[in-house]
């Protein structure tokens, strides 16, 4: 099923993200955890591509097995910056052969210190979007950044490039995680004003393990609101309490988003079935 049809439907959508294993020895345990998340029957699931230390080789196989075993629609992430055009086409062939209809087209991170090279096959996600559109048959999404992409000189410029990406054929956008809904509402206002009309899926990361989040925050440059900082400060040395408090904080964000008319929320569930299950249970009546 195409993601655009799921998120355009009247019913609010709640989806989960998983990442593939780093090595073959952890494949089975990660697939098992991803399966436990899929057994919750979320609106859809996404599988990252080489992000969070995972290996890109496993993205399609994990997504394909989940879709086959649990009938949950899958969104396969695909990055282009470290790939040739032939490599990207091989991945698109594999995604199509696996029966996956949805691709999140991403640039990927540039290795530290490297500058974009003239001879690279891809420089920006919009080029991958164009290629995937020409390839045909996929519902294509892209990433967006309510606090601005860290490499962008200004949010205005970032939004101009975002518009180009949508014009290249992105049917929906998923946001980078944010911890203050007002940042998201403000971003939504700016992109609508800029003429970007595609549905936006709000990305929410439950902060259940401080060490994990610290690395992500360093990479993304996200702001942590005072309320979340004091929660982390108070509970970070008590893992069960930190987990409970983090789930409560994320639930409050999700309820507020649905209450303000946001139709689709994607949870960065970090391969953690108990976090995904608790969040889904907390909003079960809202997403019915």
**Site of interaction with ligand FAD (CB under 6 A):** 48-51, 77, 79, 106-109, 124-126, 143, 149, 151-152, 158, 161, 165, 174, 176, 203
| Token digits of residue 171 | 């049917």
CA angle 30, 78, 182 (to 5 degrees): 85
Radius of gyration of the chain (CA): 18
Give 125 or 204: the residue with its C-beta nearer to ligand FAD: 125
Give 100 or 242: the residue with its C-beta nearer to ligand FAD: 100
| Phi and psi at residue 121, to the nearest 5° | -70, -35
- Least distance to ligand FAD, CB of residue 12, Å: 19
- Least distance to ligand FAD, CB of residue 127, Å: 8
Please state the three-class secondary structure of 34-59 as a single string: HHHHHCCCCCCEEECCCHHHCCCHHH
Q: Which of 10, 17, 171, 193 is catalytic?
A: 17
Q: State yes or no: is 17 an active-site residue.
A: yes
- Least distance to ligand FAD, CB of residue 152, Å: 4
Tell me the sheet residues that pair with 265: 14, 202
Nearest to 248 by CA among 260, 234, 264: 234
Give 59 or 272: the residue with its C-beta nearer to ligand FAD: 59
The 3-state DSSP composition of the chain as helix, strand, coil percent (nearest 5) reads: 50, 15, 40
Give 53 or 239: the residue with its C-beta nearer to ligand FAD: 53
| Token digits of residue 220 | 């993304």
- Least distance to ligand FAD, CB of residue 280, Å: 19
User: Which residues are known catalytic residues?
Assistant: 17
């Amino acid at each position: 099923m195409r993601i655009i049809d799921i998120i355009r439907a009247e019913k609010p959508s709640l989806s989960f993200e998983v990442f593939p294993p780093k090595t073959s020895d952890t494949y089975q345990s990660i697939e098992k955890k991803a399966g436990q998340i899929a057994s919750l029957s979320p609106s859809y699931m996404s599988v990252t591509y080489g992000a969070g230390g995972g290996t890109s080789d496993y993205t399609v196989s994990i997504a394909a097995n989940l879709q086959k075993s649990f009938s949950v629609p899958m969104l396969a992430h695909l990055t282009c910056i470290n790939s040739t055009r032939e490599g990207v086409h091989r991945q698109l062939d594999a995604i199509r052969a696996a029966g996956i209809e949805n691709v999140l087209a991403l640039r990927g991170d540039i290795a530290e210190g490297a500058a974009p090279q003239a001879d690279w096959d891809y420089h920006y996600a919009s080029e991958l979007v164009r290629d995937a559109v020409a390839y045909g048959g996929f519902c294509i999404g892209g990433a967006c950044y309510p606090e601005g992409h860290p490499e962008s000189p200004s949010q205005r410029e970032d939004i101009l490039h975002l518009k180009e990406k949508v014009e290249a054929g992105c049917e929906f956008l998923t946001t980078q995680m944010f911890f203050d809904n007002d940042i998201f509402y403000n971003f939504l206002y700016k992109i609508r004003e800029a003429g970007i009309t595609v549905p936006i899926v709000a990305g929410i990361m439950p902060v259940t393990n401080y060490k994990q989040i610290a690395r992500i925050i360093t990479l993304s440059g996200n702001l942590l609101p005072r309320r979340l900082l004091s929660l982390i400060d108070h509970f970070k040395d008590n893992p069960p309490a930190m987990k409970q408090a983090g789930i409560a904080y994320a639930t409050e964000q999700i309820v507020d988003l649905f209450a303000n008319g946001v139709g689709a929320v994607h949870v960065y569930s970090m391969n953690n079935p108990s976090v995904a299950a608790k969040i889904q249970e907390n909003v079960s009546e809202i997403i019915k």
